[in-house]
Amino acid sequence: MIDTHISEQAETILTHRYYLKDKDGNTIENDIELFRRVAHALAQVEHKYETLPSEISMLEDKFFDMMYTLEFLPNSPTLMNAGTDEGTLSACFVLPLEDSMEGIMKSATDAAMVQKFGGGTGFALSKIRPRGSRIETTHGKACGPIEVLKTLSRISSMITQGGKRDGANMAVMSVYHPDIREFIACKHIEGDIHNFNISVAVDNAFMVKVIEGGARHPLIDPNTGETVCWESAREIFKDIIQGAWTNGEPGMIFLDRINMDNTMINEYGPMIATNPCGEQPLLGYESCNLGSINLSKFVVPSSDEDWKESINWTRLIQVINLAVQFLDNVIDANDYSIPEIAQMTKATRKIGLGVMGFADLLIKLRIPYNSELAREVGSHLMGIIKTAAMAKSLELGAMRGTFPAWEHSKYKIHENVRNACRLTVAPTGTISMIAGCASGIEPLFALAWRKQNILEGQTLFYINEQFKKDAQEYGFYSEELMAYLSEGGLLRDRQDVPHWVKDVYVTAPEIDPEAHVLMQAAFQDQVDSGISKTINFSSEASIEDVNNSYILAWKTGCKGITVYRNGSRNKEVLVNGHRANKQLSLFDLEAACGCDNPMIVQESGCETCKTCGWSACKIS
């Protein structure tokens, strides 16, 4: 095989999930051929726009270069399926769910087709009439939205996305729905509805009532529009917080903030649901293809104390421009599972350009993740990406035409953009492992971890390469330190590690939840779609700590919030290199991902195998 520049871990992931295979299951592709396949497929779209053959060839090379250098990677479905005539190239979908037998079964069928093709789906249960409501046509009683949710979950369990991973879903319910308490509690028993994340959709009026304390909140039948009863907003919020503290669910999405950026609200109405990891609010039948820039690749040596002098801005702008064109081309190259998705996606042409490797960039700049300066860096960088992506979308709009629904949008007369939205910060579950960087805008989860080789009975140590380099250069490296870290030990408790190292190499479990929320808010201010971010808590965190984080997320303009308290699940996955609470047996691990050397960790609220890249809910 050709020598590659990627890590052993990345090669394992690519072999297991991404490289093409022959009919006998033998790998027939390497990383160069994979990136060339994808670059060629996306460049060929240019023929539609009468681009000269020589220019198409040059563009293909540019697409290839930014992927091969790991400066940019598209979401997994694009890497897996581009150039194969199999499956979708997009990761994110929201399907409408109407209150009728025909509507429910239509959504179930559509979801099965989307997941068969490799996508993940989001649903809003808010229109489904409450449990026990009278059905006029049959004189029976409605089963309610939770039974509909369970039905969708069972269907999803039958589908493996593109033959390569389990189905991923998000269910959202309005806080005004009469069955909201049942929804909040529907995943309290671990393992129930396991292939759905759940979030409660709230508005500003509800949050104001929560803060005021005693205000009454109406529960409204979505079928009749009548107020069924009044309950305490604070008590409903307490239920949400209790669930989040207990096992990380439900999350929360802030509809007013989401729809501030909904440029199509006048034509299609408000967005009321998101994709499975919550970073992509979408209208019914919309999809969005994602791709992420690896920020760690743009740090250059500099003696200047100003961090801005350490960024290769010229190359960053070049990659932003290429990535926007690449993602716009995905819309045309895509193979859509159902015609409604094709129609809606092409009407708004939404793309989701995001970032990964932000924590690695901060480490190279020697800036602690949980500092105000780090948030300034994040906001500034995302602001540059926002401006450049908008400029490129305007350029494409002038050359290729605006998105078809543009004239009904909120854009001004001079804003002839190609894409209704352009930016999204996705979780980048497996593509960040391929790129060898931290996921999304998350901090490092661990500096060292262990992997058990089941077949050979060996324990292998894996160490963050930048940390290992610094440890050796500054004289504090030892095998004992690495073993300590792999067992879940923290740098802050070591006397042999310099203070600046402890500050710069701070990991997710060490970071105050408030700092997590403020980082999400710093990026959200520059992003027209959403942010995937997990707010991590120690096992000792109180319910009040979770309460404060949810309120802070709303106050600082986040579009949603997801939390995870270490130790809060009975079947807890590997965390920071060691198992906490009830341990997963080797049988459980193998059943989860199916690879020979499973190493499951909790990252961004999802369970991911560091060996093969399997993930329980990540789709990007």
pLDDT digits (tens, 9 = 90+) for 283-301: 999 998 999 999 999 999 9
In a domain, 411, yes or no: no
Q: Which of 46, 60, 249, 279 is catalytic?
A: 279
In a domain, 435, yes or no: no
pLDDT digits (tens, 9 = 90+) for 340-369: 999 999 999 999 999 999 999 999 999 999
> What CATH number is given to the structural domain containing 163?
3.20.70.20
Provide the b/e sequence for 470-496 (b: ≥16 CB within 10 Å).
bbeeeeebeeebbebbbebbbbeeeee
The alpha carbon of 543 is separated from its chain's Cα centroid by a whole number of angstroms, namely: 25
Residue 601 banded pLDDT, cuts 50, 70, 90 = low
User: Of 229, 250, 274, which residue sits at a domain end?
Assistant: 274
Residue 488 is part of which domain span? 447-506
Residue 576 is a catalytic residue: no
pLDDT, residue 91, reads 86
In a domain, 300, yes or no: no
Strands 92-94, 120-124: parallel, antiparallel or unpaired by DSSP? parallel
Provide the b/e sequence for 556-585 (b: ≥16 CB within 10 Å).
bebbbbbbbbbebbeebbbbbbeebeeebe
Burial classification of residue 77, based on how many CB atoms lie within 10 Å of its CB (0-12 exposed, 13-18 middle, 19 or more buried): buried
pLDDT digits (tens, 9 = 90+) for 508-567: 989 999 999 999 999 999 999 999 999 999 889 999 999 999 999 999 999 999 999 988
Compute the average pLDDT of residues 40-63: 98
Cβ-proximal residues to 55 (8 Å cutoff; 6+ apart), any chain: 46
In a domain, 469, yes or no: yes
Q: Which of 277, 288, 437, 609 is catalytic?
A: 277
The size of the chain, in residues, is 620
User: Of 459, 482, 506, which residue sits at a domain end?
Assistant: 506
In a domain, 331, yes or no: no
pLDDT digits (tens, 9 = 90+) for 452-501: 554 445 555 678 999 999 999 999 999 999 989 988 888 999 999 999 99
Residue 50 is a catalytic residue: no
Q: What is the three-class DSSP state of 492?
A: helix
pLDDT exceeding 70 applies to what percent of the chain? 87
196 DSSP 8-state letter: E
Residue 74 banded pLDDT, cuts 50, 70, 90 = very high
User: Of 274, 308, 336, which residue sits at a domain end?
Assistant: 274
Burial classification of residue 256, based on how many CB atoms lie within 10 Å of its CB (0-12 exposed, 13-18 middle, 19 or more buried): middle
Mean pLDDT check: name the lowest of 53-62, 417-426, 483-492: 483-492
Residue with tokens 């970032």: 355
pLDDT digits (tens, 9 = 90+) for 361-399: 999 999 999 999 999 999 999 999 999 999 999 999 999
Residue 277 is a catalytic residue: yes
Read off the amino acid at residue 1.
M
pLDDT surpassing 70 at residue 603:
no
In a domain, 170, yes or no: yes
In a domain, 221, yes or no: yes
In a domain, 238, yes or no: yes
pLDDT, residue 146, reads 96
Q: Which of 75, 169, 195, 275 is catalytic?
A: 275
Phi then psi for 563, rounded to 5 degrees?
A: -125, 160
- Domain count of the chain? 2
